[in-house]
Amino acid sequence: AQSVAQPEDQVNVAEGNPLTVKCTYSVSGNPYLFWYVQYPNRGLQFLLKYITGDNLVKGSYGFEAEFNKSQTSFHLKKPSALVSDSALYFCAVRGSDNFNKFYFGSGTKLNVKP
Amino acid sequence: GAGVSQSPSNKVTEKGKDVELRCDPISGHTALYWYRQSLGQGLEFLIYFQGNSAPDKSGLPSDRFSAERTGGSVSTLTIQRTQQEDSAVYLCASSLESNQPQHFGDGTRLSIL
């Protein structure tokens, strides 16, 4: 079965500290992976994607993610968190049996404390 | 330019009524998606439109749900005989092509009394 898992409902970090939001996926073949961010009462905004190439992908707002094929992971990272990074983060993978279908994780709420 | 626009932003209706949700995608985007987001859940794929091709309806949860996309632009999602479990935020997204990043609207929050 194809799926995405975000094992942490919530991540708390202090401003200025590095942050990691975890994502693992289950899909056959080469995955197309995405991270999105959602602010309250808004739609999702694209942060970054991995399709092929370097395992370390850089995206918007200083975020980056590392693709690890052996661990089937695509963790989101940022070297120094900002209070304004506090939001809900979603990992997504494109289906391998149905390229039209994207599977989203249940989301991780990131809280950055001043 | 304008982003994806959804209306209404909020809809409260009684159980058993029909509702129609509207999505206006970014101009030129050929791919359009509808998702349902329930509290504490990820996004559930509902339906996908690509250009003039037949839509992928594989995510629609029941035959009470249907969607149209007229002229390759505006889309409407219709839920007939609404049930309380239909309460959720319905998100629309569009993209240039099917494997490009999706641009989301702010959603319609649907509440069934």
Q: Number of Cβ pairs closer than 8 Å across A and B? A: 58
What residues have CB less than 8 Å from A26, skipping those under 6 apart? Answer: A1, A2, A3, A4, A5, A72
Residue A36 structure tokens: 């999105």
Identify which has the larger pLDDT, A101 or B64: B64
**Rg over CA atoms, chain B:** 13
Number of other CB atoms surrounding residue B15 within 10 Å: 12
pLDDT tens digits, A17-68: 999 999 999 998 889 999 999 998 888 999 999 998 899 999 999 999 999 9
Q: Domain spans of chain B? A: 5-112
Quote the minimal CA–CA distance from B74 to chain A in Å: 18
What is the predicted pLDDT for the residue at B1? 54
Q: Which residues of A touch B35 (CB under 8 A)?
A: 104
Going along chain A from its start, the domains and CATH numbers come out as 3-113 (2.60.40.10)
Express each pLDDT in B13-65 by its tens digit. Answer: 999 999 999 999 999 999 999 999 988 778 899 999 998 888 999 999 999 99
Residue A90, classed as helix, strand or coil, is strand
Average pLDDT, chain A: 94
- The domain defined by B5-112 folds into Immunoglobulin-like (2.60.40)
CA B37 to chain centre: 10
First to last CA, chain A: 40
Q: Cβ distance B30 to B72 under 8 Å?
A: yes
Overall size of chain B counted in residues: 113
